[in-house]
Structure 1
């Protein structure tokens, strides 16, 4: 098993900023937890791969970001949560979506996502979070994030992400890259970069063949790559029995009483990790007795 990780790098004298990630094990874990069918696995996998790389763009240890992809396709909403330490989680509203392959014989991620909006919210420890949004331009997600960075954050970018799913639905490879051109970049550098991106083979084929994130960057940029940071990437969910109990207690006496009458207990399933938490009648009744 190869370790999942992401890298942050620069090239061409600091005029190019680059990120790359291998997320195969992360996507396997999300597939296991959410029981996603192939097209949902591909869509969620692409989104969490971008989320993992965007986590490297955060500077503060407690900074985090949320990605919401709200399309009108059968997948419904895709949500990804990531932080600066390589912790990523995510879910899709409808994991059991099955569509015919597209015209290129590939999983029809665009058809599953549909038309809609891409939202990014960054909690940077300020009074108000940063919020950015753009319309989805293709639903393939790589192109949509390219558009987001270029329009919302005003950084000309190229995003390539992919998830390779086997015939039996298992995840063979997942990863991607983000390239961002800074204002000082020369036109010749940009032109060469565009040529190399166009000539690059499938990201997932390269990862399946053993390519590391650094290899992806060297293939698309050249040997002039200086890696500044290497960050392990893994699934992580912040839910816990204590947090769920605190959430339930905050509902108040009337809602807890209603739960007791209707269900005889409280049951909560976390969207992000699918863990099931149950608080039995005796504990709920004890809470009610303690409330004024």
Structure 2
């Protein structure tokens, strides 16, 4: 693929609204985002798919926010994956991690499903909004543990919005991300129920999003197919990427929040800190650790 084509088909979010105000629709391509997460965290096939769906879902929900307001999804279950966390903001920055990034399921068992990775558990959705001291948080039980059914269940139970949710991560024979993306359609207040029923039927009959991308279709094509026969007005389009705002300064600030007694035990040694979200590692030199310890000591006086 040429550089021009790569730019044309890069990861982006597209937002639209029905011209008569019956529903909103968002489509996102997250292929590069998920591949970056896979590489950063050295994800197993199972985790690549489950975390990929989680990251894609977080971006779709964040598309309804403003500026740098954020959505955080936390799926915690009894299965071997343990916990998944995905976070995205309206600016298109996506990040996340798996508690147990290397685990796999025993696919030789005839009854195994991808939902067994998370198993029974809870989905917590947190919205970090402007001018609100505390996040708005909703928690529900996992429906199937496959993220797709869990997010659809959340939209009905917590948001109480009739919607259609698609999440898709396809891998190639080497385990790399072939295509990834998602779709969210939400009913607007006062919309006719028959409109959503028609849309849900249309969406259920669509090919997989990864297949549409693989066939050369892009987010505009997916939106048009999903919304047919209704007309859509484009509201916004923007790039999305795996991005974490961790920095040496933030790492040092985190270290300085420890108690003086804890810091004293680090005297004379450099410290390696790892960001959960992006797996970035940073070493804080001995002299800087000493400076942080001295600052903590001064606060005791």
TM-score normalised by L of structure 1: 0.93
Q: Which residue of 1 aligns with 2:271?
A: 266
Instruction: Give the 3-state SS of the residue equivalent to 1:46 in structure 2.
Output: helix
- Stretches of structure 1 that go unaligned for 5 or more consecutive residues are none
Please provide the CA RMSD for this pair.
2.0
Corresponding position of 2:14: 7
Equivalent residue in structure 1 for 2:93, among 63, 87, 90: 87
User: 8 Å contact 1:39–1:108 — kept in the other structure?
Assistant: no
Of residues 35-44 and 11-20 in structure 1, the stretch that sits farther from structure 2 once superposed is 11-20
Quick one: structure 1 residues 35 and 128, their matched pair in 2 at CA, closer, same or farther if it must change by over 3 Å? same
1:37 matched residue in structure 2: 44
Q: CA deviation at 1:259?
A: 2.3
* Residue 245 of structure 1: how far off its partner (Å): 0.9
Distance 1:161 1:265 in 2: 42
Distance in 1 between the 2:71 and 2:201 partners?
32
Displacement of 1:46 in angstroms is 0.5
Correspondence for 2:177 among 171, 180, 186: 171
1:17 to 12, 20, 24: 24
**Alignment TM-score, normalising by the size of structure 2:** 0.90
Equivalent position of 2:72 in the other structure: 66
Which secondary structure does the structure 2 equivalent of 1:68 belong to? strand
1:129-159 deviations in Å (ceiling 9; x for gaps): 2111211111121111111111101111111
**Closer, same or farther in 2 for the Cα pair 1:102/1:129, shift >3 Å?**
farther
| Cα offsets for 1:187-246 (capped at 9, x unmatched) | 332232132122111111112222212211211211512110112101111110111111
Aligned position for 1:230: 237
Contact between 1:121 and 1:132, CA under 8 Å: does it hold in 2? yes
Q: Residue in 2 aligned with 1:184?
A: 190
CA 1:199–1:286 in 2, change beyond 3 Å: closer, same or farther? closer
Q: Which residue of 2 aligns with 1:249?
A: 256
CA displacement 1:75-118 (0-9 Å, x = unmatched): 1110011111000100011111222449999x943111211111
- Look up the SS of the partner of 1:195 in the other structure: helix
C-alpha contact 2:19 2:233 (8 A) present in aligned 1: no
Partner of 1:96: 102
Return closer, same or farther for 1:287/1:192 CA change in 2, 3 Å cut-off. closer
CA displacement, residues 30-50 of structure 1 (integer Å, 9 cap, x when unaligned)? 011000011100001001011
Match of 1:90, SS? strand
Offset of residue 62 of structure 1:
2.9
Q: Give the one of 53, 62, 66 matched to 2:60.
A: 53
2:265 is paired with a residue whose SS is: helix
C-alpha distance in 2, partners of 1:194/1:279?
52
Judge conservation of contact 1:260–1:266 (CA < 8 Å) in 2.
no
SS at match of 1:96: coil
Please list every run of 5 or more consecutive structure 2 residues that lacks an aligned counterpart in the other structure: 1-5
Match of 1:260, SS state, is coil
**CA 1:187 to 1:103, structure 2 compared with 1: closer, same or farther past 3 Å?**
farther
